[in-house]
């Protein structure tokens, strides 16, 4: 690690993945081991030894100025299973700093005396360590893809705790959503076995957690799964207009939530020629994906309701349980599909309620952008709660019109990444390429490859550091045509050069406009090469 990089880390302060430790005492071995285990059982991180809590650099104690490998061996020898930390010493003018890199544990890791702790944020949002309790271990393993709580049989639950009406609902949803048609040919027991809703327990069918969540009776859910609760709220300012809580099985709850949103849906009207296009306030496809994600991926071992809140200018959907290991707001678009509850997620896919590819987040983004609204935000998420915020302010109809026109001319729907690039450029040009990379969560080469595709179609132009729209129809398409029409009536013909000079625009933008006007039947191209020009198309 370079000294400048280390100073940046120190300046950022302590976090869930970064701990400062003073070594003036010197640092007790037990205290160091506790932090190592604590970080490993969360998501890994780094310990900077020789840094005070306030960021003051005091350096390593003389007795710890040994070889970095000796410290790494000490940590491995005093943790169970052995923790493979890496250590390096970095020389700063103020002293030598020990940088301990702690990997995320794949199984619960304790000190050799059996002490098991994990990183957390306290009520003051300050990182610390707390015990990792036995009842939390199934959830801890589920976050790492090592266990599936929803596949576990529920002790004492019986087949009679499943509701025949929910099996009928399941079949109807399979038909409506073009799910796995094989399920339609099976009996209730056959469906339950196929979807893992039940497990054999000494010759008896025992409902699994997924079984109760999908088809359980309400009384059974209250008895065996007290953590399960769903809240639907409508708020106008600080006034709560609707505040309903349900402990229904998920298929019934999902339909209720979608109906509750749809009856409150409104449309903005966009006229394209003589055709009317309705822009919904709540896009059904994106809203359904966001709700289903919250129901599927919540941690059912944690108390607390899954909340769907409709505010005046946004919808906020939150569910108990943070992101699983390896997923964060910074990579949610590109992280490999990794459900906390695989069996439950697979059931929703086979019923047809969620995206089969596991890329549902991209659908939510696409739905927001194509309707002229800001992309979703996960910024309110915490270690204990995933929260997605969806903008529902009035749509940018100019952008929607622009996108519909591009879709028509390309004869295909723009992908989410393309929409994101055009949205950012529409809102503010020029846009830094790094800003688009950040929004799409991809590297700079991939971002430039995307921009090259948009350049080839005449939508954007970009330089070394930024890009911008070539043509912005937001306010000038009608005025531009009127100016060119006057030129045509005066001179009888136009060229790409004359359009550039008249409108004071670049070459690519002139090509874009001329192509549009040809397709719209306003002008026609005559001649080729240097003699190419455009004339007004006579209408019959």
Q: What is d(CA 438, CA 434) in angstroms, rounded to the nearest whole number? A: 6
Range 403-424 average pLDDT: 92
**176-218 tens-digit pLDDT:** 999 999 999 999 999 999 999 999 988 889 999 999 999 999 9
Q: Taking the model in full, what pTM does it have? A: 0.78
How would you list the strands of the sheet with 466-469, edge to edge?
431-432, 466-469, 460-462
Nearest alpha-carbon partner for 72 in 202, 174, 64:
64
Q: Residues of the chain with pLDDT > 90: what percent? A: 68
**228-268 tens-digit pLDDT:** 999 999 999 889 999 999 999 999 999 999 999 999 999 98
Output phi, psi for 367, to 5 deg: -65, -40
- CATH 3.30.950.30-classified regions of the chain: 3-132
Nearest alpha-carbon partner for 249 in 358, 135, 348:
348
Answer whether CATH 2.40.50.70 is correct for domain 473-536.
Answer: no
Nearest alpha-carbon partner for 187 in 179, 178, 195:
195
Q: What is the pLDDT, as a whole number, of residue 473?
A: 47
Q: What is d(CA 265, CA 279) in angstroms, rounded to the nearest whole number? A: 10
Q: What is the pLDDT, as a whole number, of residue 475?
A: 41
Answer whether CATH 3.30.950.30 is correct for domain 3-132.
Answer: yes
Q: What is d(CA 467, CA 379) in angstroms, rounded to the nearest whole number? A: 26
Q: What is d(CA 350, CA 182) in angstroms, rounded to the nearest whole number? A: 10
CA 376 to chain centre: 8
Question: CB within 8 A of 212, min separation 6: which ones?
Answer: 154, 157, 161, 162, 220, 221, 224, 225, 249
- CATH 1.10.10.10-classified regions of the chain: 415-469, 473-536
**334-362 tens-digit pLDDT:** 988 788 999 999 999 999 998 766 678 99
CATH classification for the domain delimited by 415-469, as one of 1.10.287.110, 1.10.10.10, 3.40.50.720, 3.40.50.2300:
1.10.10.10
């Amino acid at each position: 690690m370079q000294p400048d990089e280390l100073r940046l880390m120190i300046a950022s302060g302590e976090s869930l993945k970064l701990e400062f430790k003073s070594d003036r005492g010197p640092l007790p071995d037990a205290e160091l081991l506790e932090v190592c285990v604590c970080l490993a059982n969360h998501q890994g991180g780094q310990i900077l030894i020789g840094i005070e809590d306030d960021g003051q650099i005091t350096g390593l104690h003389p007795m710890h100025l040994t070889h970095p490998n000796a410290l790494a061996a000490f940590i491995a020898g005093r943790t169970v299973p052995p923790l493979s930390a890496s250590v390096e010493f970095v020389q700063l003018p103020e002293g030598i700093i020990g940088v301990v890199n702690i990997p995320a544990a794949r199984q619960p890791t304790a000190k050799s005396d059996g002490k098991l702790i994990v990183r957390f944020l306290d009520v003051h949002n300050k990182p610390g360590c707390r015990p990792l309790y036995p009842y939390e271990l199934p959830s801890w393993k589920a976050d790492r893809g090592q266990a599936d709580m929803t596949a576990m049989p529920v002790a004492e639950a019986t087949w009679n705790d499943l509701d025949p009406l929910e099996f009928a609902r399941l079949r109807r949803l399979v038909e409506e959503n073009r799910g796995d048609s094989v399920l339609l040919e099976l009996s209730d027991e056959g469906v339950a076995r196929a979807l893992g809703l039940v497990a054999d327990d000494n010759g008896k069918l025992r409902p699994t957690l997924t079984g109760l969540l999908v088809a359980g009776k309400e009384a059974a859910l209250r008895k065996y799964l007290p953590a399960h609760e769903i809240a639907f709220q409508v708020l106008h300012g600080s006034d709560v207009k609707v505040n309903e809580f349900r402990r229904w099985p998920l298929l019934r709850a999902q339909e209720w939530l979608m109906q509750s949103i749809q009856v409150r849906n409104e449309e903005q009207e966009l006229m394209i020629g003589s055709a009317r296009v309705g822009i919904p306030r709540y896009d059904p496809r994106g809203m359904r994906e966001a709700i289903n994600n919250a129901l599927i991926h919540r941690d059912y071992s944690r108390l607390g309701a899954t909340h769907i809140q409709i505010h005046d200018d946004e919808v906020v959907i939150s569910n108990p349980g943070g992101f699983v290991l390896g997923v964060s707001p910074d990579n949610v678009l590109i992280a490999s599909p990794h459900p906390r509850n695989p069996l439950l997620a697979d059931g929703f896919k086979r019923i047809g309620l969620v995206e089969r590819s596991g890329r549902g987040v991209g659908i939510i983004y696409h739905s927001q952008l194509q309707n002229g609204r800001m992309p979703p935000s996960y910024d309110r998420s915490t270690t204990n709660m995933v929260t997605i915020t969806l903008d529902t302010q009035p749509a940018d109809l100019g952008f929607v019109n622009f996108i519909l026109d591009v879709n028509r001319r390309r004869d295909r729907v723009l992908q989410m990444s393309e929409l994101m690039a055009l949205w950012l450029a529409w809102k503010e040009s020029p846009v830094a390429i790094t800003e688009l990379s950040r929004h799409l969560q991809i590297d700079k080469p991939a971002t430039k490859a995307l921009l090259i595709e948009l350049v080839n179609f005449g939508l954007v132009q970009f330089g070394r550091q930024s890009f911008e729209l070539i043509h912005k129809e937001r306010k000038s398409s009608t005025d531009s045509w009127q100016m060119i029409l006057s030129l045509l009536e005066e001179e009888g013909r136009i060229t790409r050069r004359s359009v550039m000079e008249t409108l004071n625009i670049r070459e690519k933008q002139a090509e874009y406009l001329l192509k549009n006007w040809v397709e719209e039947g306003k002008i026609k191209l005559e001649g080729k090469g240097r003699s190419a020009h455009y004339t007004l198309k006579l209408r019959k």
